[in-house]
Chain A
Amino acid sequence: MRLSRLSRATLGIVTAVILVAVYVPLVVVLVNSFSTSTSLTWPPPGFTFEWWVRAFQSAGAIEAVTTSVQVAIIATVISLVLGTLISLALQRFDFFGRDAISLLVILPIALPGIITGIALNNFFRTIMGVPLSIWTVVIAHATFCIVTVFNNVIARLRRQGTNLEEASADLGAGVWTTFRLVTFPQLRSALLAGGLLAFALSFDEIIVTTFTAGSGVTTLPIFILNNMFRPNQAPIVSVIAVVLVLVSIIPIYIAQRLSGSEQQHR
């Protein structure tokens, strides 16, 4: 597409402004994590590694990271298993209510987190009588993490069609063998992309987590929120924030590379 000089310049400026608005605050956080000031003042009065050292020695911070990683891994595994099964059911079999179920599966990702949070909190405590714990957080996260896996897998299944599975059955493979040798290998990259997104979603989730975490269960985002405005803790939060950004970039980058390379193959 050809654009005039003026519109190109305008679009360039708009893009630059948006990127600056998004990324400058992140840079500020990065700089603050090395600042000698304890109250996020700008410009930073001096340079120090103290906060990084203290952050890595802070029991609370390390525990929060551990909790978040645990929650994210378990929620992702649940999503991978259930998301794949749902996609297979909806794509390969025809049954009454199929479209409705498809909608119900996708809905949780569109629902405001606060609604999911309140609903699950209410459901767990008053209806099920289950005390909130790390597991209620896992279940809550899985409700929307499933969607990323489901979307990736069902798109792949749709594109693939059933030819390869028919060929496998034709050559004598049973249902399970066909899944293991043909269907699953075809889904591998879709599962990886969906799983990484699910992990990233769960890892920095805060709203639903707030409503479903038991006392004493502190995920990383909650830890940050709690410590952000405490005196002398702000720089440590900055350190954690920088680490979080780095951790989040990796799966998103890999997921994007995967889906990008697949589009080229088509």
Chain B
Amino acid sequence: MTDQQPAIRLTGLTKEFGAVTAVDNVDLEIAAGEFFSMLGPSGSGKTTVLRLIAGFEQPTSGTIELFGQDVTKRAPFDRDVNTVFQDYALFPHMSVLENVAYGLRVRGIGRKERNERARRALASVRLEQMAARKPSQLSGGQRQRVALARATVVQPKVLLLDEPLGALDLKLREQMQVELKEIQRDLGITFIFVTHDQEEALTLSDRIAVFNDGRIEQLGTPAELYEHPGSRFVADFVGTSNLLDDAASHELLGRGGLHSVRPEKMTVGGGETGADVHNAPGTVVETIYLGSGIRIVVDLDAGSRVSVLEQNDRHRVHDDERGDRVVVSWHDADVISLATSESVTDAAAAASV
């Protein structure tokens, strides 16, 4: 085994569907054992990259390497990767046990051994008592775990997960996120996780690639992406951002360019002083009670609309009402400078609330 090799290396990967370029010259290396997420809005190409890695699609150009081996031309059944599908794709005519044992069966492993291994895999997702059921008799979360057991029982080097939690309700999703993380740690294999849910990506991943228009917009750890978004798109897509366009930056920061400030880095009340503190007066437009926090939307006199996230803790002294005059404060260190390559004249998008 060559552990120094990246688990996946994509080189100049491009996929065109007719006139549409779904994946546009993507270069990417994913390390062995990494929990890697591909994050982006629908149509950004993340799922196509996954399908290219799995072998369901053939790239228009570029290569895919798996632990240093070029697998670009190989059929899906000839690649050491397995997929957990968005709709799970469990075989409806087979029992849960037969589903999980399928990959072993087609590898010619005897019934006794494969059933034993499938049972162990089912036990690892705590579904051993469901072995005899049909997939249609399971709940969504249980199907999800069967799909996971089915894909991991064959011990792939890389597990691809295509929005596997998308169909689950919130509580179950949070629970499955923890389980996924545990399973990945236990198996020690590379997970490539496709999602459009930025929170999910931030929670689970070692590294994230943010996709936009078939390209990787930014690649980094969750903290890097959140603290230092490289572009307006990333600032906007990963978490919530108060975007300050060129004019607003001049007015509020005293310098030009496109900037972003996270809502939780801003406070309302004007209690802050110091050399690097910016204070901007404004009028409260809306206060939204979130339980653990309170979101206060303020129209600054300088012309921007910002969203401030305050903790719902004992430091909160009074509730701001719609129409109240307030001062919004933030530290200059928390101001993120964004690349100005994109349109900064679009005033309407200056504040993303």
Q: Which residues of A contact B (CB under 8 A)?
A: 163-164, 166-174, 177, 181-182, 185-186
Is B85 an interface residue, CB under 8 A from the partner? yes
The answer to whether residues A172 and B77 also contact, given A166-B56, A167-B83 and a CB cut-off of 8 A, is yes
Residues of B within 8 A of A181 (CB): 102, 105-106
Q: Which of A163, A164, A173 contacts B77 (CB 8 A)?
A: A173
Contact with A along B74-104 (1 / 0, CB 8 A): 0111000111010101111100000000110
Nearest Cβ distance between residue B158 and chain A, in whole angstroms?
A: 12
Bound state CA distance, A166 and B79, in angstroms?
13
Q: Assuming A167-B90, A181-B102, what are 15 further A-B pairs, CB within 8 angstroms? A: A163-B89, A166-B76, A168-B106, A169-B76, A170-B55, A170-B56, A170-B83, A172-B103, A172-B106, A172-B107, A173-B77, A174-B106, A181-B105, A182-B91, A186-B93
Residues of A within 8 A of B103 (CB): 171-172
Bound state CA distance, A169 and B90, in angstroms?
13
Asked whether A169 lies within 8 Å of B82 as measured between CB atoms, the reply is no
Q: Which residue of B lies closest to A163 (CB)?
A: B89
Q: Which of A167, A173, A174 contacts B85 (CB 8 A)?
A: A167
Bound state CA distance, A21 and B82, in angstroms?
61
Asked whether A170 lies within 8 Å of B76 as measured between CB atoms, the reply is yes
Bound state CA distance, A174 and B151, in angstroms?
16
Bound state CA distance, A186 and B91, in angstroms?
9
Contact with A along B101-115 (1 / 0, CB 8 A): 011011100000000
Nearest Cβ distance between residue B125 and chain A, in whole angstroms?
A: 17
Nearest Cβ distance between residue B188 and chain A, in whole angstroms?
A: 21
Asked whether A168 lies within 8 Å of B93 as measured between CB atoms, the reply is no
Residues of A within 8 A of B82 (CB): 170-171
Residues of B within 8 A of A170 (CB): 54-56, 76-77, 81-83, 151
Nearest Cβ distance between residue B333 and chain A, in whole angstroms?
A: 48
Asked whether A172 lies within 8 Å of B89 as measured between CB atoms, the reply is no
Nearest Cβ distance between residue B192 and chain A, in whole angstroms?
A: 13
Asked whether B107 lies within 8 Å of A164 as measured between CB atoms, the reply is no
20 A-B contact pairs sorted by A residue (CB < 8 Å): A163-B85, A166-B54, A166-B85, A167-B83, A167-B89, A167-B90, A168-B91, A169-B55, A169-B56, A169-B75, A169-B76, A170-B55, A170-B77, A170-B151, A171-B102, A171-B106, A171-B154, A172-B107, A173-B77, A177-B106
Q: Which residue of A lies closest to B87 (CB)?
A: A163
Residues of A within 8 A of B75 (CB): 169, 174
Residues of B within 8 A of A185 (CB): 93
Asked whether B87 lies within 8 Å of A171 as measured between CB atoms, the reply is no
Is B262 an interface residue, CB under 8 A from the partner? no
Nearest Cβ distance between residue A156 and chain B, in whole angstroms?
A: 12
Q: Which residue of A lies closest to B93 (CB)?
A: A185
Which 7 A-B pairs rank lowest in CB-CB distance, beginning with the nearest?
A171-B103, A167-B89, A173-B106, A169-B76, A163-B89, A185-B93, A169-B77
